[in-house]
């Protein structure tokens, strides 16, 4: 158990809809990262937050947004969903935001867009 909690585990929705994925980082970790993993694909970095502030942005679409709240949990909002957004979305947390400490991953949210 990594200590990172992601909800929900599975999400099935239709094209055009909007969903919110939730992540609670490991106790003591200040930084949260979001990654997208499509079938048999690698891990695509979306965005990073550190102590409530956006720290780095990757290949995140304009239809996607995220935030980190004062209690350090984070939410990833996906809107105007397309079939190609179907993927496994991972949240990870680390102690600091420098990238020099290990990332601890949650079990992921599997999103299916029909």
Partner 1 sequence: GQQVMQIPQYQHVQEGEDFTTYCNSSTTLSNIQWYKQRPGGHPVFLIQLVKSGEVKKQKRLTFQFGEAKKNSSLHITATQTTDVGTYFCAPLGLLTGGGNKLTFGTGTQLKVEL
Residues that bind partner 1 (CB under 8 A): 2, 33, 35, 42-43, 45, 48, 55-56, 58, 90, 92, 97-100, 102-108
Q: Which is nearer to partner 1, 35 or 64 (CB)?
A: 35
Concatenated DSSP letters for the chain? --S-EEE-SEEEE-TT--EEEEEEPPTT--EEEEEEE-TT--EEEEEEEETTEEEEE-S--TTEEEEE-TTS-EEEEE-S--GGG-EEEEEEEESSSSS-S--EE---EEEEE-
Give the shortest CB-42-to-partner 1 separation in angstroms: 5
Give the shortest CB-45-to-partner 1 separation in angstroms: 6
Q: Which is nearer to partner 1, 85 or 104 (CB)?
A: 104
């Amino acid at each position: 158990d990594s200590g990172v909690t992601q909800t929900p585990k599975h999400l099935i929705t239709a094209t055009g809809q909007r969903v919110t994925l939730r992540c609670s980082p490991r106790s003591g970790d200040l930084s949260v990262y979001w990654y997208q993993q499509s079938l048999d694909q690698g891990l695509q970095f979306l965005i990073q937050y550190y102590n409530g502030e956006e720290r780095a942005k990757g290949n995140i679409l304009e239809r996607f947004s995220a935030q980190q709240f004062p209690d350090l949990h984070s939410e990833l909002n996906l809107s105007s969903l397309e079939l190609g957004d179907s993927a496994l979305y991972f949240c990870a947390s680390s102690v600091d935001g420098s990238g020099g400490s290990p990332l601890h991953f949650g079990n992921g949210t599997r999103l299916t867009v029909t």
